[in-house]
Structure 1
Amino acid sequence: MSAPRTVVGVSGGVDSSVAALLLVRTGEPVAGLFMQNWDDDGSGECRAEEDRRDAVAVCGRLGIPFHFRNFSREYWAGVFEHFLAEYAAGRTPNPDVLCNREVKFKHFLAAARELGAERIATGHYARVAFEGGRWRLLRGADRDKDQSYFLHQLGQEQLAATVFPIGHLPKAEVRRIAREAGLPTHAKKDSTGICFIGERDFRQFLGRYLPAQPGEIRDPQGVRIGTHPGVFYFTLGQREGLNIGGVRGRPAAPWYVVGKDVAANILYVDQDRDSPWLMSREVRTEAMHWIEGAPPAAEFACTAQIRYRQEEQACRVRVQDDGTLRVRFDRPQRAATPGQSLVLYDGPACLGGAVIAATDAPVPGRSGPAERTVR
């Protein structure tokens, strides 16, 4: 059997199934590879085995070879340990970004090359273009499904060896193609969240690795409101899970997390969804990753997202000597969160991204404004 030119990451979902189908229709040699990134922890919540069976069925339907690789050890070391460390520090990490960089476009790419392939393909809603001698990552045509935000850590080597066969299609068209082709995944529900958490309660899962450390909930002025099971279970702007009942002298309105003091184990809350304690105009990042290898200028205007599916926000970027960024937004941003990713765009082109380190939002519990970082 000849080596495949392209190995498709078949996840058992409709998107990767159609990505494989479209490549098969070009007539080139294609193979599928299923990645297991998390070992079953006995909870029965991870759908890896069900997804694997669906991936096998799709490859059988398409008449292409099926391969399997277990990357759970690599995922633990490259993604999950960082995930836990960030939460323990009071930050809010994005494991999908690291999974793409450390597993899907590193170990998967290496496995595909071991099989003799020249390139890999996935079912991501994104596009790749070669312009001006450089590879560019572009948004997917379906703005609601665009996943370039999660791919911002890719570089020239990965993009040169990657195709996104469905990046030019809307989701509805992907479903239609799958249905008309009789693919067994055509009506399968999209997966949400993180595989290793599945449908279970997030706090319950995290508590297996970061034991509860109860502490006080206070308002921004330091008045005690209630208690919490651990500050690392919460993120800025969060409303759910606070379990704050009626508070004497306070309106019967929802409470929102507006700050965390990890060292003192204090969670700060406010009843204004757009509380001034949540709003920031400037963000400082860790070292920036540039998809094309370098910034377009030392200072420039572009748009940015501080979370997935956020509308693009106009901003001005200043590149620091140490490779970090200072980004000032035209409008105040709600709940810019240390540990999350700030991703820059020039039109449809993703320039790259970096982890948010701090913001200029006021810090609850202090008498004056200060740059917010996790204490």
Structure 2
Amino acid sequence: MSGSDVIVGVSGGVDSSVAALLLQRQGVSVAGLFMQNWADDGSGLCRAEDDRKDAVAVCGRLGIPIHFRDFSNEYMEGVFKHFLSEYAAGRTPNPDVLCNREVKFKHFLDAALALGASRIATGHYARVVRNNGRARLARATDASKDQSYFLHQLGEAQLDATLFPLGEIEKTEVRELAREAGLPTAAKKDSTGICFIGERDFRDFLSTYLPMQDGEIKDPSGVTLGTHHGVYFHTLGQRGGLQLGGVRGRDQAPWYVVGKDVARNILVVDQGHDSKWMMSNVVDTETMHWIAGAAPATTFECLAQTRYRQAPQACRVQVNDDGTVCARFFEPQRAVTPGQSLVLYDNDICLGGAVIARIDAPVPDALAV
């Protein structure tokens, strides 16, 4: 048994380190738990061992116990296999959303409760607020770091058992608190991108699981401009990595991915940041997860995000009988991507979200059957 009331998921980063520090300063009995979510794949690029050492050093500095759990099998089954199947289908998944639902707020929470803790805490930038005694997920005070988008699959029971100590402070303050406390992670660079890919090239990583297959890059009218190595390596709105360079007879403006056909291995590109081929107003989803357990109404207006770091956009939501939703945005949305998540908000309160299934962007002639 841990003997600790709260167990913090210590990742070896500055955010989780300061989350533990703040709880300790509040007089909470705290322990850390380091989760290994990815087995070493022999690339030499996995950061897990370095992160583990930093987590140990932080807990040592704070004088709190630390526990270790290997969730790599659970991550493989609950997150990574889905990640690969989505890319193979030509969609662009968000593994952070699944990791939070399947690992951090499921297996980690279960492990913490088994150790005798009553709650868990993480270094996420988000808040839990109470509405008539019920737990709700809210945006963090630091809007530039808010991570509620990635947490939209949580339920009321999980939120009831979770603390987000960083929810009401700014990132700059987090760094300063870490420096003042002498935490070894104070100056550590924030991790970016997908955890299991690390610093390696995304296409190189994905090609070890999904075979490269050369295909044509076409403009919207169907004119061939070049070749690619596999449509799964590209996502809607993408600018880099196309290796088109200057195309004879065309403007020198950048090219963007505006469509793809997995079956025929065709990638369609166009010039113009806001090409009409990647603008949509209507988004249909898979089954919606409502944090409160049910939709606020059958039809309602709210704010929504179709990707992280997007400014909230106004829309009207229709809840369908099968649990899916149709969101109609008041302004056209750029590069909405199937496989990503549509997350709904009532001001700062996250209502829930779902995987984007379809959009109404026009289909380029190059992809017309």
> Which category of TM-score, normalised to the shorter sequence, fits these structures?
over 0.9
Report the residue type matching 2:356 in the other structure: I
- Cα deviation, residue 365, structure 1: 2.6
Query: In the alignment, which residue of structure 2 is the partner of 1:262?
Result: 262
Report the residue type matching 1:47 in the other structure: R
Residue 366 and residue 43 in structure 1: after superposition, are their counterparts in 2 closer, same or farther (change >3 A)? closer
Distance 2:242 2:197 in 1: 20
Distance 2:45 2:348 in 1: 36
Residue 317 and residue 46 in structure 1: after superposition, are their counterparts in 2 closer, same or farther (change >3 A)? same
Query: In the alignment, which residue of structure 2 is the partner of 1:173?
Result: 173
Query: In the alignment, which residue of structure 1 is the partner of 2:233?
Result: 233
Distance 2:159 2:333 in 1: 31
Report the residue type matching 1:228 in the other structure: H
Q: What root-mean-square deviation, in Å, do the aligned CA atoms of Structure 1 and Structure 2 show?
A: 1.2
Is the 2:2–2:31 Cα contact (8 Å) retained in structure 1? no
Say which SS state the counterpart of residue 74 (structure 1) adopts: helix
- Cα deviation, residue 2, structure 1: 6.1
Query: In the alignment, which residue of structure 2 is the partner of 1:372?
Result: none
Residue 2 and residue 67 in structure 1: after superposition, are their counterparts in 2 closer, same or farther (change >3 A)? closer
Query: In the alignment, which residue of structure 2 is the partner of 1:310?
Result: 310
Alignment of 1:235-254 (within 5 A): 235-254=235-254
Query: In the alignment, which residue of structure 2 is the partner of 1:210?
Result: 210
- Cα deviation, residue 272, structure 1: 1.4
Does the alignment pair 1:106 with 2:122?
A: no
Query: In the alignment, which residue of structure 2 is the partner of 1:361?
Result: 361
Distance 1:301 1:46 in 2: 43
Distance 1:267 1:366 in 2: 9
Bigger mean CA deviation after superposition, 242-251 or 216-225: 242-251
Distance 1:239 1:366 in 2: 19
Q: Render the CA deviation track for 1:55-91: whole Å, top value 9, x for unaligned.
A: 0011111111110001000000000000000000000
- Cα deviation, residue 131, structure 1: 1.1
Query: In the alignment, which residue of structure 2 is the partner of 1:5?
Result: 5
Q: Render the CA deviation track for 1:245-278: whole Å, top value 9, x for unaligned.
A: 3222111221110000111110000011110000
Structure 1 segments, 4+ long, off by >6 Å, are: none
Distance 2:54 2:211 in 1: 36
Report the residue type matching 2:135 in the other structure: W
Does the alignment pair 1:163 with 2:163?
A: yes
Query: In the alignment, which residue of structure 2 is the partner of 1:23?
Result: 23
- Cα deviation, residue 135, structure 1: 1.1
Distance 1:363 1:95 in 2: 27
Report the residue type matching 1:95 in the other structure: P
Report the residue type matching 2:212 in the other structure: A
- Number of residue-to-residue matches in the alignment: 369
% identity of equivalent residues = 73
Query: In the alignment, which residue of structure 2 is the partner of 1:35?
Result: 35
Say which SS state the counterpart of residue 143 (structure 2) adopts: coil
- Cα deviation, residue 28, structure 1: 2.3
Query: In the alignment, which residue of structure 1 is the partner of 2:320?
Result: 320
Distance 2:21 2:59 in 1: 9
Say which SS state the counterpart of residue 83 (structure 1) adopts: helix
Does the alignment pair 1:146 with 2:149?
A: no
Report the residue type matching 2:21 in the other structure: L
Distance 1:128 1:304 in 2: 19
Distance 2:124 2:338 in 1: 26
Report the residue type matching 2:49 in the other structure: E
- Cα deviation, residue 366, structure 1: 6.1
Query: In the alignment, which residue of structure 2 is the partner of 1:277?
Result: 277
Distance 1:313 1:275 in 2: 19
Query: In the alignment, which residue of structure 1 is the partner of 2:343?
Result: 343
Is the 2:58–2:184 Cα contact (8 Å) retained in structure 1? yes
Say which SS state the counterpart of residue 362 (structure 1) adopts: coil
- Cα deviation, residue 231, structure 1: 0.4
Q: Which runs of 5+ in 2 are unaligned?
A: none
Distance 1:200 1:93 in 2: 19
Is the 2:2–2:115 Cα contact (8 Å) retained in structure 1? no
Distance 2:10 2:2 in 1: 20
Report the residue type matching 1:176 in the other structure: E
Is the 2:303–2:345 Cα contact (8 Å) retained in structure 1? yes
Report the residue type matching 2:222 in the other structure: G
Bigger mean CA deviation after superposition, 117-126 or 359-368: 359-368
Say which SS state the counterpart of residue 269 (structure 1) adopts: strand
Report the residue type matching 2:206 in the other structure: L
